Amino acid sequence: MTTTAPANPTSTSPARSDTLLDFSDVEMKFPNGTVALHGVDLTVNRGEFVTVVGPSGCGKSTLLRIASGLERASQGTAAVKTDRIGYVFQDATLLPWRTVEANVELLAELNGRSASERTVKAQEAIDLVGLSGFEKNLPKELSGGMKMRASLARSLTLDPELFLFDEPFGALDEITRERLNDELLRLFVEKQFAGLFITHSVSEAVYLSTRVIVMSGRPGTIVDTFDVPFPMPRSPEIRFEAEFGKLVGEVSHALREGHH
Amino acid sequence: MAIDTRVDSTQRTTRRRSGSSRGMNVGLPIVVFFLLLGLFYLAALYYDKAKQLPFLVPYPHLILKAVFTEPAFQTQLVQALGSTLLVAVVGLVIAVVIGMIWAVIMAQAKWLESALFPYAVVLLCIPILALVPLIGSLFGYEFKSRVIVTVLFCLFPMIASTLFGLQSIDKGQRELFQLQGAGRFTLLMKLRFPAALPSIFVGLRNAAGLAVIGAVVADQFFQRGNGGLGVLISIENQRLNGPEMYAAIFTASILGVLVFVLFNVLRRLAIGKWYDQN
Ligand SMILES: Nc1ncnc2c1ncn2[C@@H]1O[C@H](COP(=O)(O)OP(=O)(O)OP(=O)(O)O)[C@@H](O)[C@H]1O
Ligand SMILES: [Mg+2]
C-alpha cells in the first residue's frame, strides 16, 4: 500500500507544515546483498510525530540511520531539510567517565559551542527532563530510566528540528516507560519538532504519534498508515478509551498481516 | 574486630562484605607466609646438615642479618637497587611512550593494524638471549643496553592493552561522535582514550612488573658500569655468599611487588570513581 500525501494534514498539525524529512522510493541494499528497505516513501512535517512499527529486522533502524546520515540509501532520494537532528539510541550511550552534566554538554561541546553557552543549555535540558539534582552524578549511579532521560537531555541541547528515536524505551519497565512517554509528549508539544519514533509496542506507538506507520518483514516496505486523531496534549487516560483500543487493535492487525 | 563489624552493620551489606573479604585477603596470605617460612627453614636445615652446602639455601635470619647488620653490603644493596630502579623506570617510560603511539597508530585503521600488529607479536616472541651479543656490541655493556632489554620486556603488554582499550568503544558511542562530525583527533581524545584508560592501566601495571624483571635480567647480560641487583646477585653467587645473594633476590622480588601495588593504587585513583570492575 502507499503512504501519506503531505497534502493530507493530520488533525493536530499546526499552521506551519514544512517538510523536514522527505523519503521517496528509498531502497537500502547492503554490500553483502541484504535488501533492508524497498520502495519507501515517507514524509515527516514539523509538528508531526510519526511512529514506525514492524517486525524485527525489517529495516526500521536502517531507516533512521539513513535519515541521520549515518548510512546512505542505495537508491531513491532521502532528503532531510535541517541539520539540527536529534538521535536517541536504544542504549543511553552515556560516557561513563563523565557526570550527567558533562554528558549532556557533550554534543554542544563537539559542535564547538562556548563553555558558558553549553552550561546554560545543559542545565535547561536537565531541568526539562526532570534530572535536576543529579548533575554531578556518574552514569553508573543512575537507573535505566534516568540514563534515558540524560540521553534525551543530551539531544535536546541541540534544539533539534527533527528528532529520531530508535526504540529508546524498549529496555525499560512498563511504568517508567509510560512516564517517559508522557514527558516526551510534553516536550513535543512544547518544542514542536518533527518526530520519527521506532517502537515494538503498538500502544506506545498510538499513544505518542500523530501517525503510525506499519512496515512488513524484509525487505522492509510500508504496508499501512494510520492517522491518530487524538488531539495534543494527551492525557494518559486516553489509553482506556474505546477509540484508543480500537486503533491499537487495527494497527496490531496490520502488523500481523504484514508479518509474513 | 567484632565491634567494628557491629558499627559497620548500619551501612549497606555490600560494604560489610567487601570489608570482610579484605580481611581474608590479609589473613590467608599471612598464614601462607609462615608456612613458606617454615619450609624455608627446613630446606636450609637440609642443605646445612645433610648436604654441607649452607650457602645454597641459607637460614632466613642470616639473610635479615646480612641486610641489617653489614654496612658495606647495605651500601652495595642500596646502590644496586637504585641502579635497577633507574633502568626499570627509564625502560618503562620508553615502552609506555612507544607502546601507546604504536597502538594509537594501529587503532586508526584496520589495514594499519594488520600491517603493524605482527611486529608487536614478534617482540613477544624474540628470544632476547639471542639478541644479547648484538645489543652488547652495538650499544655497549652498560646502562643503554640494559634499558633496551627492559624495553623489549615490557613493550608488548603496553601495546596490546592500549590497542584493546582503544578498540573497546561501542558502535553507538562512536556514531554519537560521528553524527556531530567529530574528527579523528577529537574522537581519540574525548572518546577512545578515556575509554581505553582501564585497559591502559592494566597494561601499565603488567609492564611495570616486567620492567623490574627486565632490568634484573639485563644485569645478567650487561655487567659493566653501575651494576644493579642482577649484577649483585651474580657477584654474591660467585663468592658463595648465600645470605647476601638471597637478600638481593628478595629485594628484587619485593621491588616487583611494590611496583605492581603502586600501579594498582594509581589505577584506582585515576579511574576507580567511574569504572565498574564488573
Ligand atoms: N551494515 C549492515 N550490513 C548488512 N546487513 C545489515 C547491516 N545493517 C543491518 N543489516 C540487515 O538489515 C536488516 C534490517 O536491519 P535493521 O537493524 O534496520 O532492522 P530493525 O527493523 O531495526 O530490527 P530490530 O527491530 O530488531 O531493531 C537486518 O536483516 C539486518 O541484518
Ligand atoms: Mg533496530
Listed residues B18, B38, B57: the one ending a domain: B57
pLDDT of A229 > 80? The answer is yes
Residues B132 and B261 in one domain: yes
A208: nearest Cα among A187, A227, A224, A184: A184
In short, whether A60's Cβ falls inside 6 Å of ligand 1 is yes
Burial code (b: 16+ CB inside 10 Å, e: under 16) for B58-97 equals bbbebbeebbeeeeebeebbeebbebbbbbbbbbbebbbe
CB contact under 8 A, A91 and B172: yes
Cβ-Cβ contacts under 8 Å for A253 (sequence gap 6 or more): none
In short, whether A70's Cβ falls inside 6 Å of ligand 1 is no
What pLDDT is recorded for position A17?
53
CATH of the domain at B237: 1.10.3720.10
Complex prediction ipTM: 0.85
Q: Is the peptide bond before B127 cis (omega within 30 degrees of 0)?
A: no
User: Which DSSP helix (H) or strand (E) runs through A148?
Assistant: helix A144-156
A140: nearest CB among B179, B195, B274: B274
C-alpha separations of B253 from A98, B129, B229, B256 in Å: 38, 21, 10, 5
CB contact under 8 A, B274 and A107: no
Q: Is A165 on the interface with B (CB under 8 A)?
A: no
Residues of A in contact with B189 (CB under 8 A): none
Smallest Cα distance from B183 to chain A, Å: 10
- Low-confidence residues in chain B, pLDDT < 70: 1-24, 277-278
Question: Are the CB atoms for B79 and B226 separated by under 8 Å?
Answer: yes
Structural domain boundaries of chain A?
A: 19-37+71-81, 94-163, 197-248
Residues B119 and B204 in one domain: yes
Q: Which tens digits make up the pLDDT trace of A156-191? A: 999 999 999 999 988 888 888 888 899 899 989 988
Q: Which tens digits make up the pLDDT trace of A198-215? A: 999 999 999 999 999 999
Predicted TM-score (pTM) of this structure: 0.82
What pLDDT is recorded for position B226?
85
Residues B74 and B40 in one domain: no
State the residue for C-alpha cell 512498563: A174
Backbone angles phi, psi at A85, to 5 degrees: -110, 130
Instruction: Tell me which of A61, A196, A202, A213 to substitute to probe ligand 1's pocket, judged by most ligand atoms within 8 Å of the beta carbon.
Output: A61
Which of B192, B274, B275 best probes binding to A when mutated, by most A CB atoms within 10 angstroms?
A: B274
B204: nearest Cα among B253, B161, B261, B251: B161
Q: Which ligand is nearest to the CA of A29?
A: 1
B170: nearest Cα among A96, A68, A93: A93
Residue type, A151: S
In short, whether A116's Cβ falls inside 6 Å of ligand 1 is no
Cell of A182: 508522557
Strands A162-166 and A85-88 turn out to be: parallel
Summarize the confidence of residues A141-145 as an average pLDDT.
Answer: 91
Q: Is B30 on the interface with A (CB under 8 A)?
A: no
Burial code (b: 16+ CB inside 10 Å, e: under 16) for B102-139 equals bbbebbeeeeebeeebeebeebeeeebeebbeebbeeb
What pLDDT is recorded for position A220?
87
Residues B196 and B271 in one domain: yes
In 3-state terms, what secondary structure has residue A168?
coil
Q: What is the spatial distance between Cα A67 and Cα A92, in angstroms, rounded to a whole number?
A: 19
How far does residue A167's CA lie from ligand 2's centre (Å)?
7
What pLDDT is recorded for position B184?
93
Residues B261 and B131 in one domain: yes
What pLDDT is recorded for position B259?
93
Q: What is the mean pLDDT of chain A?
A: 88
**Looking at the 3D structure of chain B, how many domains does it have?**
2
What pLDDT is recorded for position B22?
54
Listed residues B42, B57, B72: the one ending a domain: B57
Residues B165 and B121 in one domain: yes
Residues B200 and B74 in one domain: yes
Closest atom, ligand 1, to C-alpha of A90: 27
Q: What is the spatial distance between Cα A202 and Cα A225, in angstroms, rounded to a whole number?
A: 13
Residues B28 and B69 in one domain: no
Closest atom, ligand 1, to C-alpha of A63: 18
Residues B144 and B53 in one domain: no
What pLDDT is recorded for position B59?
93
Residues B230 and B210 in one domain: yes
pLDDT of A11 > 50? The answer is no
Q: Within 13 Å of residue A125, how many CA atoms lie on the same side as its CB?
A: 28
Listed residues B12, B32, B57: the one ending a domain: B57
Angle at B111 between CA B109 and CA B114, to 5 degrees: 115
Q: Which tens digits make up the pLDDT trace of B1-19? A: 333 433 333 334 444 444 4
User: Chain A 34-73, CB below 8 Å of chain B: which residues?
Assistant: 68-70
Q: Which tens digits make up the pLDDT trace of A39-78? A: 899 999 998 999 999 988 889 999 999 999 999 999 989 8
Residues of B in contact with A87 (CB under 8 A): 176, 179
Domain that holds residue B92: 60-277
Question: Are the CB atoms for A232 and A209 separated by under 8 Å?
Answer: no
Residues B51 and B77 in one domain: no
Residues B168 and B189 in one domain: yes
In short, whether A36's Cβ falls inside 6 Å of ligand 1 is yes
Q: What is the spatial distance between Cα A139 and Cα B189, in angstroms, rounded to a whole number?
A: 20
What pLDDT is recorded for position B7?
35
What pLDDT is recorded for position B2?
37
Question: Are the CB atoms for A194 and A44 separated by under 8 Å?
Answer: yes
User: Chain A 81-100, CB below 8 Å of chain B: which residues?
Assistant: 85, 87, 89, 91, 93, 95-97
A71: nearest Cα among A81, A58, A60: A60
